[in-house]
Structure formats: structure tokens, C-alpha cells
Structure 1
Amino acid sequence: MLEAKDPVVLDDAGRYDRDIVHLARVAMAGRSQDVQTLLQRMARRYQATNSSLAESLRELLRSAPSLDAPMRSHGNALPLPLDGDTRLPLIRADQLGPAQSPVLVDPVRGQLDQLREEHLNRERLARSGLMPSRSALFVGPPGVGKTLAARWIAAELRRPLLVLDLSSVMSSYLGRTGSNIRKVLDYAKSSPSVLLLDELDTVAKRRDDSAEVGELKRLVTVLLQEIDDWPASSLLLAATNHAELLDPAVWRRFDQVVDFPLPGPVQLREALIQYCGVDGSREVIDFLVKTLQGASFADAERLVLGARRRAALKDEKLFDVLLDLGRQRLREMEAPRRIQIALDLIEECSISQRRASEITGVSRDTIRRRLER
């Protein structure tokens, strides 16, 4: 117990007493992550008035044994939370392991690197009175890498990735949906983890939508409160394909908003090379990039996986199959677009007129006339 001469007691007794009561309350409730968060705040708060106490608290946090992941395979593992109606697990727990670095545009890559660095350098932030970002919202169309990015961050932080598909927790009894969400969030808070709330728009819809019933509107309020109370020891991620459906208050609750656009030619080329996994024809890759313009990473991966299966079954060369599939996509396009792709291969990719004609099926006479204009 601190003696009366302690400067914290003398200068700020009321605040110190409140902190002790608050610390005792969360400790008795078994909320270990909240205990750590409170100790971090106390260390920052008392730095100016009692630096030795602040440093002792920081040393305690540094030396404390780290908590195992929620789905740890040894010791007293906690069971996954279950839906009260179906008794099925409410979340999917991805085992910790290496994850391939996602192909991303530079602004998105910069934001994800920032998230990673903040959580890997918590002590450096603490010395400046700061905490890492607690939450981030991933926005973008399907297939642009939102889930893959969450998996990569979890692997980089060496934490489990807990995935909650919000559409799956919608109970037939609406009153239980809020209970389901609380179960998952409490479980994720129990030890350091990365929680991904997928399809956030399923629950966090605009509260001024007259088509939504009152219970769903109350769910939005529950979710906002949980995001506000999220501990900095874990990372809360949310993903949506329909940003326009989100309640305006949701945007303000997240520390970061990461906008995932459809990939451009540079990202598509990098992704195709990654998906193919072998050295191959550069001109085929260039051709596929042109035919996949406006497609997502998922579309490109689906094309390559289909080609690999066909090549294995028919004993064909992968890039011959990819070339054939690219031609099939090209035949579905209007003539002006097909001609433009042939011209782009010549002008941007240094492919000869003859080879461009062979790849695209556009006649050499047509290509020559367009080039002479």
C-alpha cells in the first residue's frame, strides 16, 4: 500500500482511489485484457506525478506472461461460443500460421503496414502515451483482398484470426442476435486476437431505414458500444461490400478506414504471377491482364485455378490453357474492345503484330489499318 507521502496520494488522491476501485472491479470480473488496458492508462496518467510508479506498472506489463490464443490446443482452452438455437459455433477460428502477403495498391499497403507496426511496437507507443489502433474498417467490392489482408495481419502479429460472419449470427429470435454478438466479442476479448466481423452491413445498417425493425436498430447500438469498449490488446477488423448501407455512426467508431479498390493492371499482373506459381510466358500474362480489366483478385484466381485443374486433367501446358481461357473471355467482348486489346499488346507490351493477331484473333490487316491512323 502506498504511504501518505506518496505524491500520487497527496496530489491526486481522488483519481488514484477511483483507479484502484476500477482496477479491482475489472479484475474480480475476470476481464484480464481490461486489466492490462487500465494499467497502461494508469502508467501514462501518473508519469508526470509519480514516474517510479508509472515505470513499475510498465515493467509489470512487460514481464507479465502473454496469454495464449483463444483456440489454443493445450491447457485450459476455451470452447468456441455457440448459437443458442442451433448449437453451432458462432465464429470460425483460423489456426495461426504463415500467410501469403496480399497484392495491394500502395495506399492500402501503407495502412496495413501501419496497423502491423503499431501492434508490434506497443511499448514504443506507450512511452509516448499512445496506444495502437484498436479497430479498422475494410471497405470494398467482393474479391479485392479484405479477408486475405485480415489473415495476413493476424499472421504477422502471431495472433489467431477469429472470423464472425454477421449474417450467420442472425437468430430466428431477434432478441438472441444481440446475445450472439456479445458472446463472440467477449470471447475475442478474453485474450489477444484479431477478430474479423465479416459482412458488417448485415447488422450495422442505417438506423433511419424505415424498413428495419426496432430490434435490428438496437443491435446497431449494441455493436457501436462494443466497438467503443474494445481493448487495445486485440485488434477488431470489420469488412463490408456495401458501405452505403452502414449507419453513419459506424464510420466514426473505427480508428482506421481502409478502402480496397479493384486491382489495376500492375496489381493484376503481380497477382497472376503469384497464382500461377511457375515461370511462364510473359505475353500470356500481359494478355490476361488486358482481358481481366475491371475484374477482382478473386476472379483472376478463379481463372488460374480452373486452368491448373484442366492442365492437370488433360496433360496440357498451363500457359496454353490460360491463353485459351483468355481468348474465350475476349470473344465475349465487343469488336472495338478486342481490337484495342490487340493494339495495347503491341504498343505497351512490345508484342509483334503477327503474335498479337495470333493471341487475340484480330486480323493483321485490321491491326495494321488501326496503327496507321
Structure 2
Amino acid sequence: MSAQKRVIRQFAMAAVTALALLMVGGVSSSRAQVKTIVPPVIPGAKPVTVQHIKIHGTSLEGNLEGEAVDRDVIVFLPPGYFKHKHRHYPVVYALHGYSIGAEQWTHEIHVPQTIEGAFAQGAKPMIVVLPDSKTVYGGSMYSRSETTGDFEEFIAHDVVKYIDAHYRTIPDRQSRGLVGHSMGGYGALRIGMKYPQVFGALYVMSGCCLSARPAPDPNSPQEKAFDEAVAKLKSPAGAANFPFFWKAQLATAAAWSPDPKNPPLYLDLPVKNGVLQPDVVAKWTANAPLAFIDQYIDNLKKYRAISLDVGDHDGLRFDMRKVHQILDSYGIQNSFTIYYGTHTSAVADRFQNHVMPFFSHNLCFKKNCK
């Protein structure tokens, strides 16, 4: 057996679980002992206004996967928005994770209750926006791709431009915050690194997919079954009943290794016809923030504040700590918290009691920000 094959075999079993861990977060065996924390309703909290809208994604036009170009977006307007007609507000853009969309994200972070609770406890009035970036395979990875469309530009340009044009915002980077959880945490970090001219404060919650994934074993039964199943697909819709791990691989390939000349899926996978594709593995590695973060240090230095958090029962805590250490090594001020919880058990509590106060303290609430 060649040295290359021995290395691949060593990583084979790890690869099967690694992708799932990277996409939605790994937890320890004590997960059942960790209870989900939902903040109680705050007495006297004033209701926010919830609006369900559609935003046309110019950046998504012509995508090869047939993803919707008009995307669902949920907007939360603070109490008094319609009463104080001359007041303008900062905006927080909150990105959902893999396998869910904006509507499911509202249930995960328990909005509008947690937004109302944050305001009742002293957070300054803000607009909160939840854009939907779910795709046929479960997630866009908030990346640029001819196959899925340019979801980086959709979030940082199309959504922001629409919100600024239709709501009373403060259209300044210092008055825009970006936050995300899991795949959304990956998206917040990725987009945050590339668009400091758009956003002024950054919060990453349990970011997935931060480090490079091990190469799969082409000879493993799991990989062979997946390879054969993909070869039979006639369209992306044919993967509707695929297992979670298989869909996650397709979502990743559509985002990070698109191929306009490879119909009907228009993507390349790390294994093809039983043969490892090193070029595809390299593309996936190149999309890991821990592989490219050093290229964007100057951009990260432009943020007024950066915060990172992750649960102590979440397998993603190791990579999140690495991001924190890299920021520290470059002298970039940031806060890093490992709290008691799994990947999702405390997300609602964190959103109300940490995310919203963070932006309340670190965004500009004046029309003329300096």
C-alpha cells in the first residue's frame, strides 16, 4: 500500500464525522445532560413589528442550480419605529445555519421574544434582519459560486441596499452589524473579512467549517455508495432524500468547487469514479477561514469590535479558539467566550443577553457617524 493510500485511510473514518461536525457542530457524549436555555419573557417588554418580505438577489441571477433569486427575508422593527418617524436606526444582519432557513432560524433564536427582551433590558433600538440563504442542498455557505449564485454579494450588497432603501436606517458601516451561527457564523466571518466597508461590528457564534477537512477515502463503503448515488442524479432535486452527510457534501461542492461545464449538478466532488481529486480537495481547503484569514488581517483591523462565542460541549470550540488566537497574535481586539452549552442549547440566550447588547454598545446610533 502506498504512503498516500495509508494517509487517506487514516483519515477516512474521521472524514465521515468531520463534515457533519463542521457543518452543524460536534458535541460531546454528555449532550443529553445539557438543557436548552430559552430566556423567560420579560414583563413589560414592548412588542417589535415583524415583516416578511422578498428581496431580489441580483447577485444570484443566472445561477446554474436553479436557486430562487427572490429570497425570503424577515425584518424586525423596534418599538416606536412608526411613532418616531424621523428617527433612523442601526441594522443587525443575522445569518442562519446549515439545513435551516430564515423561518426556522427565528425558532432557534426565539425571535421576536429575545429581541424584545434585549430591548426591555436596556439594549438600544435596532432593526434586525434575517435573510434566507437555504439552497436545494441545505445551505449556500454564504460563498461565491456560479452554481448557487453569489451569496457573499447577496448579503453584503443586495440585502443591505434594499434595507437601506426601504427602511429608516443609518446607512453607514459603523451602524451595521453582522452576526451568524454555525454555517451563519462561517458566513459572518467570511463576509466580515471581505466587506469591512459595509459592516462595522462582527459577532461569530459557533462558526462551522473554519478548518480544512481531511481528504475522503475513495475506497470506503460510504464514499463508494455516495459516488454511485451522485452519478445517478438527473438534477439537484433528485438529492431531496439523500442523508444529511451526503447533502452536506453536495452543498459544499456547489459552493466551493462549482463547475459550469459539469451538468446536471454543475459541481465537482473530492472523489470521482472512485478516484481522489486533489484539485477539488485543495479548493475546499482554500475556503477554510483558518487557511485564508491572514490575508484579511488589515480588513479585520477596521472593525470597531469583534466577538466570538461557542459552547463548551461543542466540537467547534477548538477552531473558534484558533480564530481568537490568530486575532490576538495580530493585536486585533476581540472577545472570546466559551459558555456552558452544546452547539444549539444556548443560542437563544446568547442572542438576547450577549449578541444584542454587543451591538447596542458597538454600533453607531447617530446619523453622522465618525
TM-score (normalizing by structure 1) = 0.25
TM-score (normalizing by structure 2) = 0.25
Structure whose alpha-carbon radius of gyration is higher = 1
